[in-house]
Structure 1
Amino acid sequence: MSWQVNYVLAYIAEEPGMSAQHVRGELIRIKAKNQPDVLAAISAANKIDAATAASYREKYPEMDFLCGYRKTCVWPGDTIEYLQSAGIGWGSAGTLTSAALDGAANTASHKTYFFSDRLLRQYGRVQKLLREYDRIYRITLKTGTILRIGMIADYEPNANAVRSLWDEFGPVDIVWNINPNGSPSPEAIDAGAELGCEVVKWEELKGRLRTA
Protein backbone atom coordinates (compact mmCIF):
# COMPACT_ATOMS: atom_id res chain seq x y z
CA MET A 1 0.00 0.00 0.00
CA SER A 2 1.43 3.42 -0.98
CA TRP A 3 2.32 6.04 1.60
CA GLN A 4 -0.36 8.49 0.46
CA VAL A 5 -3.08 5.85 0.78
CA ASN A 6 -1.91 5.11 4.32
CA TYR A 7 -2.04 8.80 5.19
CA VAL A 8 -5.54 9.25 3.77
CA LEU A 9 -6.84 6.17 5.60
CA ALA A 10 -5.40 7.52 8.86
CA TYR A 11 -6.87 10.96 8.14
CA ILE A 12 -10.35 9.57 7.49
CA ALA A 13 -10.17 7.37 10.59
CA GLU A 14 -10.11 10.56 12.66
CA GLU A 15 -13.18 12.01 10.94
CA PRO A 16 -16.46 11.45 12.83
CA GLY A 17 -19.13 9.54 10.95
CA MET A 18 -16.71 8.15 8.36
CA SER A 19 -14.62 5.06 7.74
CA ALA A 20 -12.40 3.88 4.88
CA GLN A 21 -10.69 0.76 3.68
CA HIS A 22 -8.08 -0.08 1.08
CA VAL A 23 -9.50 -1.75 -2.04
CA ARG A 24 -6.47 -2.21 -4.28
CA GLY A 25 -3.53 -0.20 -5.51
CA GLU A 26 -4.32 3.47 -4.89
CA LEU A 27 -8.08 2.92 -4.63
CA ILE A 28 -9.97 3.22 -1.33
CA ARG A 29 -13.62 2.89 -0.36
CA ILE A 30 -15.13 5.51 1.95
CA LYS A 31 -18.29 4.98 3.95
CA ALA A 32 -20.16 7.96 5.38
CA LYS A 33 -23.36 7.81 7.40
CA ASN A 34 -26.52 7.95 5.25
CA GLN A 35 -24.50 8.48 2.05
CA PRO A 36 -23.47 6.19 -0.81
CA ASP A 37 -20.01 4.63 -0.69
CA VAL A 38 -17.27 6.56 -2.45
CA LEU A 39 -14.46 4.95 -4.41
CA ALA A 40 -11.48 7.30 -4.58
CA ALA A 41 -8.05 7.01 -6.17
CA ILE A 42 -5.32 8.69 -4.12
CA SER A 43 -2.46 10.21 -6.11
CA ALA A 44 0.86 11.47 -4.80
CA ALA A 45 1.62 13.40 -8.01
CA ASN A 46 2.67 17.05 -7.85
CA LYS A 47 0.72 17.66 -11.06
CA ILE A 48 -2.17 15.64 -12.46
CA ASP A 49 -2.42 16.21 -16.20
CA ALA A 50 -5.20 14.88 -18.41
CA ALA A 51 -3.19 11.81 -19.46
CA THR A 52 -2.57 10.92 -15.82
CA ALA A 53 -6.25 11.37 -14.99
CA ALA A 54 -7.19 9.16 -17.94
CA SER A 55 -4.78 6.46 -16.77
CA TYR A 56 -6.40 6.48 -13.33
CA ARG A 57 -9.82 6.16 -14.94
CA GLU A 58 -8.62 3.25 -17.06
CA LYS A 59 -7.11 1.54 -14.03
CA TYR A 60 -10.06 2.27 -11.73
CA PRO A 61 -13.13 2.68 -13.99
CA GLU A 62 -15.41 2.58 -10.96
CA MET A 63 -13.80 5.55 -9.19
CA ASP A 64 -15.98 8.46 -8.09
CA PHE A 65 -13.20 10.85 -7.10
CA LEU A 66 -9.55 11.51 -7.93
CA CYS A 67 -7.62 12.90 -4.96
CA GLY A 68 -4.35 14.82 -5.27
CA TYR A 69 -2.99 14.18 -1.81
CA ARG A 70 -0.14 16.71 -1.87
CA LYS A 71 -1.12 20.22 -0.85
CA THR A 72 0.99 21.51 -3.74
CA CYS A 73 -0.75 19.34 -6.36
CA VAL A 74 -1.57 21.30 -9.54
CA TRP A 75 -4.58 20.54 -11.74
CA PRO A 76 -4.45 21.84 -15.35
CA GLY A 77 -7.68 23.07 -16.87
CA ASP A 78 -7.98 20.23 -19.37
CA THR A 79 -7.70 17.73 -16.52
CA ILE A 80 -10.54 19.44 -14.68
CA GLU A 81 -12.67 19.48 -17.83
CA TYR A 82 -11.94 15.80 -18.50
CA LEU A 83 -12.87 14.68 -14.98
CA GLN A 84 -16.02 16.80 -14.84
CA SER A 85 -17.20 15.45 -18.19
CA ALA A 86 -16.59 11.92 -16.90
CA GLY A 87 -18.60 12.52 -13.71
CA ILE A 88 -15.55 12.22 -11.44
CA GLY A 89 -14.86 14.61 -8.58
CA TRP A 90 -11.39 16.05 -8.04
CA GLY A 91 -9.36 17.89 -5.43
CA SER A 92 -7.62 17.55 -2.10
CA ALA A 93 -8.12 15.09 0.75
CA GLY A 94 -10.24 17.71 2.50
CA THR A 95 -12.39 18.04 -0.61
CA LEU A 96 -12.80 14.27 -0.70
CA THR A 97 -14.00 13.93 2.89
CA SER A 98 -16.39 16.88 2.60
CA ALA A 99 -17.81 15.47 -0.65
CA ALA A 100 -18.25 12.01 0.88
CA LEU A 101 -20.15 13.47 3.83
CA ASP A 102 -22.34 15.49 1.45
CA GLY A 103 -22.97 12.61 -0.95
CA ALA A 104 -21.51 14.66 -3.80
CA ALA A 105 -18.22 12.96 -4.63
CA ASN A 106 -18.87 12.66 -8.36
CA THR A 107 -19.48 16.38 -8.84
CA ALA A 108 -17.10 17.82 -6.24
CA SER A 109 -14.30 20.23 -7.16
CA HIS A 110 -11.31 21.44 -5.15
CA LYS A 111 -12.76 23.15 -2.08
CA THR A 112 -9.92 25.71 -1.91
CA TYR A 113 -10.98 27.26 -5.21
CA PHE A 114 -14.68 26.36 -5.38
CA PHE A 115 -16.20 29.62 -4.13
CA SER A 116 -13.76 31.81 -6.03
CA ASP A 117 -14.52 29.91 -9.21
CA ARG A 118 -18.23 30.50 -8.66
CA LEU A 119 -17.72 34.22 -7.98
CA LEU A 120 -15.94 34.67 -11.30
CA ARG A 121 -18.49 32.63 -13.23
CA GLN A 122 -21.40 34.56 -11.75
CA TYR A 123 -19.90 38.03 -12.11
CA GLY A 124 -21.95 39.87 -14.70
CA ARG A 125 -19.09 41.65 -16.45
CA VAL A 126 -17.32 38.41 -17.35
CA GLN A 127 -18.17 37.33 -20.89
CA LYS A 128 -15.84 34.34 -21.22
CA LEU A 129 -13.84 32.38 -18.68
CA LEU A 130 -11.02 29.96 -19.46
CA ARG A 131 -9.62 27.94 -16.57
CA GLU A 132 -5.98 27.28 -17.43
CA TYR A 133 -5.18 25.66 -14.06
CA ASP A 134 -7.04 25.13 -10.80
CA ARG A 135 -5.73 28.56 -9.69
CA ILE A 136 -5.18 30.40 -13.01
CA TYR A 137 -7.97 31.96 -15.10
CA ARG A 138 -8.00 33.91 -18.33
CA ILE A 139 -11.16 36.01 -18.44
CA THR A 140 -12.63 38.12 -21.20
CA LEU A 141 -14.80 41.00 -20.04
CA LYS A 142 -17.78 42.35 -21.95
CA THR A 143 -15.62 45.37 -22.83
CA GLY A 144 -13.27 43.01 -24.67
CA THR A 145 -10.49 43.36 -22.10
CA ILE A 146 -8.64 40.13 -21.36
CA LEU A 147 -7.11 39.57 -17.91
CA ARG A 148 -5.09 36.69 -16.53
CA ILE A 149 -5.82 36.10 -12.85
CA GLY A 150 -3.91 33.91 -10.40
CA MET A 151 -5.29 32.81 -7.03
CA ILE A 152 -3.37 32.46 -3.78
CA ALA A 153 -5.15 30.88 -0.81
CA ASP A 154 -2.60 31.79 1.90
CA TYR A 155 -3.90 33.65 4.96
CA GLU A 156 -1.34 36.42 4.46
CA PRO A 157 0.55 35.92 1.20
CA ASN A 158 4.14 37.16 1.28
CA ALA A 159 6.41 38.30 -1.52
CA ASN A 160 7.68 34.77 -2.11
CA ALA A 161 4.14 33.46 -2.66
CA VAL A 162 3.53 36.06 -5.35
CA ARG A 163 6.85 35.44 -7.07
CA SER A 164 6.40 31.66 -6.89
CA LEU A 165 2.99 31.88 -8.57
CA TRP A 166 4.49 34.04 -11.32
CA ASP A 167 7.49 31.75 -11.77
CA GLU A 168 5.42 28.54 -11.93
CA PHE A 169 2.47 29.70 -14.03
CA GLY A 170 3.78 32.69 -15.94
CA PRO A 171 2.82 36.38 -15.92
CA VAL A 172 -0.57 37.41 -14.55
CA ASP A 173 -2.32 40.75 -14.49
CA ILE A 174 -3.85 40.20 -11.07
CA VAL A 175 -3.00 38.05 -8.05
CA TRP A 176 -6.19 37.40 -6.08
CA ASN A 177 -5.81 36.51 -2.41
CA ILE A 178 -8.87 34.26 -2.06
CA ASN A 179 -8.56 33.51 1.67
CA PRO A 180 -11.63 35.26 3.15
CA ASN A 181 -9.98 35.80 6.53
CA GLY A 182 -6.59 37.15 5.49
CA SER A 183 -5.00 39.91 3.46
CA PRO A 184 -1.84 40.14 1.37
CA SER A 185 1.20 41.54 3.15
CA PRO A 186 2.69 44.88 2.07
CA GLU A 187 5.69 42.89 0.80
CA ALA A 188 3.39 40.81 -1.43
CA ILE A 189 1.82 43.96 -2.86
CA ASP A 190 5.27 45.43 -3.51
CA ALA A 191 6.44 42.20 -5.17
CA GLY A 192 3.40 42.31 -7.45
CA ALA A 193 4.15 45.90 -8.39
CA GLU A 194 7.74 44.95 -9.25
CA LEU A 195 6.47 42.14 -11.50
CA GLY A 196 3.80 44.31 -13.08
CA CYS A 197 0.64 42.95 -11.47
CA GLU A 198 -1.80 43.91 -8.74
CA VAL A 199 -2.30 41.87 -5.56
CA VAL A 200 -5.89 42.25 -4.36
CA LYS A 201 -8.86 40.91 -2.42
CA TRP A 202 -12.30 40.31 -3.97
CA GLU A 203 -13.69 43.82 -3.45
CA GLU A 204 -10.65 45.35 -5.12
CA LEU A 205 -10.86 42.79 -7.91
CA LYS A 206 -14.51 43.68 -8.57
CA GLY A 207 -13.50 47.32 -8.84
CA ARG A 208 -10.75 46.40 -11.30
CA LEU A 209 -13.18 44.38 -13.42
CA ARG A 210 -15.70 47.26 -13.44
CA THR A 211 -13.18 49.69 -14.89
CA ALA A 212 -11.11 47.40 -17.15
Structure 2
Amino acid sequence: MKWQVRYALENIGGVRGVTSAEPVGDEAIRITTQDLPDIMAAISAAETIDAGLATRYHEEYPEIEFLCGYRKTCVWEGGAIRYLEDNRIGWGSIGTLDSAIPEGNVSTAAHKDFFFSDRLIRQIRSVTNVEREFDRIHTLTLANGRTLRTGMIMQYEPTADAVRSLWDRFGPVDIAWNINPNGNPTQNAIDAGRELGCEVMKWDALKALLKNG
Protein backbone atom coordinates (compact mmCIF):
# COMPACT_ATOMS: atom_id res chain seq x y z
CA MET A 1 0.00 0.00 0.00
CA LYS A 2 1.47 3.35 -1.04
CA TRP A 3 1.49 6.39 1.20
CA GLN A 4 -1.24 8.25 -0.68
CA VAL A 5 -3.57 5.26 -0.39
CA ARG A 6 -3.01 5.10 3.35
CA TYR A 7 -3.88 8.78 3.75
CA ALA A 8 -6.87 8.45 1.44
CA LEU A 9 -8.25 5.59 3.52
CA GLU A 10 -7.93 7.69 6.69
CA ASN A 11 -9.69 10.60 4.99
CA ILE A 12 -12.52 8.65 3.34
CA GLY A 13 -13.53 7.04 6.63
CA GLY A 14 -14.98 10.34 7.80
CA VAL A 15 -17.08 11.02 4.71
CA ARG A 16 -20.86 10.99 5.18
CA GLY A 17 -22.40 7.68 4.16
CA VAL A 18 -19.14 5.71 4.01
CA THR A 19 -19.25 2.54 6.10
CA SER A 20 -15.84 1.09 5.19
CA ALA A 21 -12.89 1.39 2.82
CA GLU A 22 -10.09 -1.00 1.96
CA PRO A 23 -7.03 -1.01 -0.29
CA VAL A 24 -7.07 -2.72 -3.68
CA GLY A 25 -3.55 -3.37 -4.92
CA ASP A 26 -0.99 -0.62 -4.40
CA GLU A 27 -2.89 2.40 -5.71
CA ALA A 28 -6.64 1.92 -5.39
CA ILE A 29 -9.32 1.71 -2.73
CA ARG A 30 -12.77 0.17 -2.56
CA ILE A 31 -15.36 2.27 -0.73
CA THR A 32 -18.54 0.84 0.76
CA THR A 33 -21.45 3.17 1.44
CA GLN A 34 -24.82 2.80 3.12
CA ASP A 35 -27.10 3.14 0.13
CA LEU A 36 -25.01 2.86 -3.05
CA PRO A 37 -22.94 0.16 -4.78
CA ASP A 38 -19.27 -0.08 -3.86
CA ILE A 39 -16.97 2.50 -5.43
CA MET A 40 -13.43 1.88 -6.63
CA ALA A 41 -11.06 4.83 -6.86
CA ALA A 42 -7.44 4.92 -7.97
CA ILE A 43 -5.25 7.21 -5.86
CA SER A 44 -2.25 8.77 -7.61
CA ALA A 45 0.70 10.61 -6.10
CA ALA A 46 1.77 11.98 -9.48
CA GLU A 47 2.56 15.68 -9.86
CA THR A 48 1.12 15.61 -13.39
CA ILE A 49 -1.51 13.25 -14.78
CA ASP A 50 -1.46 12.88 -18.55
CA ALA A 51 -3.44 10.65 -20.89
CA GLY A 52 -0.89 7.85 -20.71
CA LEU A 53 -1.02 7.71 -16.93
CA ALA A 54 -4.82 7.90 -16.89
CA THR A 55 -4.94 5.01 -19.35
CA ARG A 56 -2.52 2.97 -17.23
CA TYR A 57 -4.67 3.34 -14.14
CA HIS A 58 -7.76 2.36 -16.10
CA GLU A 59 -6.04 -0.72 -17.51
CA GLU A 60 -4.70 -1.75 -14.09
CA TYR A 61 -8.02 -1.11 -12.32
CA PRO A 62 -10.75 -1.56 -14.98
CA GLU A 63 -13.53 -1.01 -12.42
CA ILE A 64 -12.41 2.44 -11.28
CA GLU A 65 -15.05 5.14 -11.18
CA PHE A 66 -12.72 7.90 -10.02
CA LEU A 67 -9.06 8.84 -10.44
CA CYS A 68 -7.77 10.96 -7.58
CA GLY A 69 -4.70 13.17 -7.85
CA TYR A 70 -3.84 13.19 -4.16
CA ARG A 71 -1.23 15.96 -4.16
CA LYS A 72 -2.60 19.49 -3.85
CA THR A 73 -0.12 20.51 -6.55
CA CYS A 74 -1.29 17.86 -9.03
CA VAL A 75 -1.85 19.15 -12.57
CA TRP A 76 -4.17 17.39 -15.03
CA GLU A 77 -3.44 17.56 -18.74
CA GLY A 78 -6.32 18.01 -21.15
CA GLY A 79 -5.74 14.62 -22.76
CA ALA A 80 -6.16 12.88 -19.42
CA ILE A 81 -9.37 14.79 -18.70
CA ARG A 82 -10.83 13.87 -22.08
CA TYR A 83 -9.86 10.21 -21.69
CA LEU A 84 -11.43 9.94 -18.25
CA GLU A 85 -14.63 11.76 -19.18
CA ASP A 86 -15.00 9.69 -22.36
CA ASN A 87 -14.77 6.55 -20.22
CA ARG A 88 -17.12 7.87 -17.54
CA ILE A 89 -14.47 8.09 -14.84
CA GLY A 90 -14.53 10.98 -12.41
CA TRP A 91 -11.34 12.94 -11.73
CA GLY A 92 -9.92 15.47 -9.34
CA SER A 93 -8.67 15.97 -5.80
CA ILE A 94 -9.44 14.00 -2.67
CA GLY A 95 -11.86 16.81 -1.80
CA THR A 96 -13.66 16.23 -5.09
CA LEU A 97 -14.06 12.55 -4.24
CA ASP A 98 -15.26 13.36 -0.72
CA SER A 99 -17.96 15.64 -2.12
CA ALA A 100 -19.03 13.23 -4.87
CA ILE A 101 -19.55 10.17 -2.67
CA PRO A 102 -22.61 11.48 -0.75
CA GLU A 103 -24.02 12.94 -3.97
CA GLY A 104 -23.76 9.59 -5.77
CA ASN A 105 -22.06 11.08 -8.83
CA VAL A 106 -18.50 9.80 -8.44
CA SER A 107 -18.13 8.60 -12.04
CA THR A 108 -19.09 11.99 -13.49
CA ALA A 109 -17.39 14.25 -10.94
CA ALA A 110 -14.80 16.78 -12.10
CA HIS A 111 -12.18 18.65 -10.09
CA LYS A 112 -14.14 20.85 -7.68
CA ASP A 113 -11.61 23.71 -7.87
CA PHE A 114 -12.25 24.22 -11.58
CA PHE A 115 -15.67 22.70 -12.31
CA PHE A 116 -17.87 25.77 -11.98
CA SER A 117 -15.47 28.06 -13.83
CA ASP A 118 -15.13 25.59 -16.69
CA ARG A 119 -18.93 25.40 -16.93
CA LEU A 120 -19.28 29.20 -16.95
CA ILE A 121 -17.16 29.69 -20.04
CA ARG A 122 -18.93 26.86 -21.87
CA GLN A 123 -22.27 28.62 -21.34
CA ILE A 124 -21.25 31.77 -23.21
CA ARG A 125 -22.81 31.59 -26.68
CA SER A 126 -20.13 33.71 -28.32
CA VAL A 127 -17.54 31.08 -27.36
CA THR A 128 -17.68 28.69 -30.31
CA ASN A 129 -14.91 26.31 -29.26
CA VAL A 130 -13.26 25.39 -25.97
CA GLU A 131 -9.95 23.52 -25.96
CA ARG A 132 -8.94 22.43 -22.49
CA GLU A 133 -5.16 22.15 -22.46
CA PHE A 134 -4.84 21.61 -18.70
CA ASP A 135 -7.26 21.57 -15.78
CA ARG A 136 -6.82 25.35 -15.47
CA ILE A 137 -5.84 26.38 -19.01
CA HIS A 138 -8.33 26.86 -21.88
CA THR A 139 -7.96 28.20 -25.39
CA LEU A 140 -11.26 29.81 -26.37
CA THR A 141 -12.38 30.61 -29.90
CA LEU A 142 -14.94 33.39 -30.19
CA ALA A 143 -17.60 33.84 -32.85
CA ASN A 144 -15.58 36.65 -34.45
CA GLY A 145 -12.60 34.32 -34.87
CA ARG A 146 -10.53 35.72 -32.03
CA THR A 147 -8.77 33.23 -29.76
CA LEU A 148 -7.96 33.78 -26.11
CA ARG A 149 -5.81 31.59 -23.88
CA THR A 150 -7.03 31.79 -20.30
CA GLY A 151 -5.46 30.52 -17.10
CA MET A 152 -7.31 30.08 -13.82
CA ILE A 153 -5.77 31.28 -10.56
CA MET A 154 -7.43 29.98 -7.40
CA GLN A 155 -5.83 32.15 -4.73
CA TYR A 156 -8.09 34.41 -2.66
CA GLU A 157 -6.06 37.51 -3.52
CA PRO A 158 -3.53 36.57 -6.21
CA THR A 159 -0.13 38.21 -5.98
CA ALA A 160 2.42 38.98 -8.68
CA ASP A 161 4.09 35.65 -7.90
CA ALA A 162 0.85 33.76 -8.61
CA VAL A 163 0.58 35.36 -12.04
CA ARG A 164 4.24 34.76 -12.88
CA SER A 165 4.05 31.16 -11.63
CA LEU A 166 1.06 30.46 -13.88
CA TRP A 167 2.93 31.94 -16.85
CA ASP A 168 6.15 30.03 -16.08
CA ARG A 169 4.40 26.68 -15.60
CA PHE A 170 1.88 26.79 -18.45
CA GLY A 171 3.24 29.34 -20.90
CA PRO A 172 1.84 32.68 -22.08
CA VAL A 173 -1.83 33.45 -21.47
CA ASP A 174 -3.98 36.34 -22.61
CA ILE A 175 -6.08 36.27 -19.44
CA ALA A 176 -5.12 35.33 -15.88
CA TRP A 177 -8.55 34.65 -14.41
CA ASN A 178 -8.96 34.95 -10.63
CA ILE A 179 -11.67 32.34 -10.11
CA ASN A 180 -12.03 32.70 -6.33
CA PRO A 181 -15.36 34.54 -5.97
CA ASN A 182 -14.52 36.06 -2.59
CA GLY A 183 -11.26 37.86 -3.29
CA ASN A 184 -9.66 40.19 -5.79
CA PRO A 185 -6.23 40.26 -7.42
CA THR A 186 -3.71 42.60 -5.84
CA GLN A 187 -2.42 45.60 -7.73
CA ASN A 188 0.96 43.89 -7.89
CA ALA A 189 -0.69 40.95 -9.68
CA ILE A 190 -2.36 43.28 -12.18
CA ASP A 191 0.95 45.07 -12.79
CA ALA A 192 2.80 41.76 -13.22
CA GLY A 193 0.23 40.66 -15.77
CA ARG A 194 0.69 43.85 -17.77
CA GLU A 195 4.45 43.36 -17.73
CA LEU A 196 4.02 39.84 -19.10
CA GLY A 197 1.39 40.87 -21.63
CA CYS A 198 -1.81 39.51 -20.08
CA GLU A 199 -4.80 40.92 -18.23
CA VAL A 200 -5.67 39.82 -14.71
CA MET A 201 -9.42 39.85 -14.15
CA LYS A 202 -12.47 38.46 -12.39
CA TRP A 203 -15.47 36.72 -14.00
CA ASP A 204 -17.60 39.79 -14.75
CA ALA A 205 -14.82 41.39 -16.78
CA LEU A 206 -14.00 38.13 -18.56
CA LYS A 207 -17.68 37.48 -19.36
CA ALA A 208 -17.97 40.93 -20.93
CA LEU A 209 -14.83 40.34 -22.95
CA LEU A 210 -16.07 36.98 -24.23
CA LYS A 211 -19.46 38.38 -25.18
CA ASN A 212 -18.09 41.47 -26.90
CA GLY A 213 -15.08 39.85 -28.49
TM-score w.r.t. length of structure 1 = 0.96
* Cα deviation, residue 85, structure 1: 0.8
Q: Which residue of 2 aligns with 1:43?
A: 44
Runs of 4+ residues over 3 Å off in structure 1: none
Structure 2 CA distance, aligned partners of 1:31 and 1:157? 39
Q: Which residue of 2 aligns with 1:132?
A: 133
Q: Which residue of 2 aligns with 1:5?
A: 5
Name which of structure 1's ranges 9-18 and 189-198 shifts more when overlaid on structure 2: 9-18
Q: Which residue of 2 aligns with 1:109?
A: 110
Structure 2 CA distance, aligned partners of 1:110 and 1:16? 19
What are the ranges of 5 or more consecutive residues in structure 1 without an aligned counterpart? none
- AA partner of residue 133 (structure 1): F
| Contact kept? 2:16, 2:102, Cα under 8 Å | no
Q: Which residue of 2 aligns with 1:168?
A: 169
- AA partner of residue 36 (structure 1): P
| Contact kept? 1:20, 1:30, Cα under 8 Å | yes
**Percentage of pairs with the same residue:** 59
* Cα deviation, residue 14, structure 1: 2.8
Q: Which residue of 2 aligns with 1:197?
A: 198
Structure 1 CA distance, aligned partners of 2:101 and 2:33? 6
Structure 2 CA distance, aligned partners of 1:135 and 1:151? 5
Q: Which residue of 1 aligns with 2:120?
A: 119
- AA partner of residue 61 (structure 2): Y
| Contact kept? 1:35, 1:101, Cα under 8 Å | no
| Contact kept? 1:36, 1:103, Cα under 8 Å | no
Superimposed CA distance per residue, residues 161-211 of structure 1 (whole angstroms, 9 cap, x where no aligned partner)? 110000010000001111111111111111111101001110011122233
Structure 2 CA distance, aligned partners of 1:36 and 1:163? 45
Answer yes or no: is 1:182 the counterpart of 2:188.
no
| Contact kept? 1:158, 1:184, Cα under 8 Å | yes
The count of residues paired between Structure 1 and Structure 2 equals 212
TM-score w.r.t. length of structure 2 = 0.96
Task: Supply the RMSD in Å over aligned alpha carbons.
Answer: 1.1
Q: Which residue of 1 aligns with 2:155?
A: 154
* Cα deviation, residue 17, structure 1: 2.8
SS at match of 1:81: helix
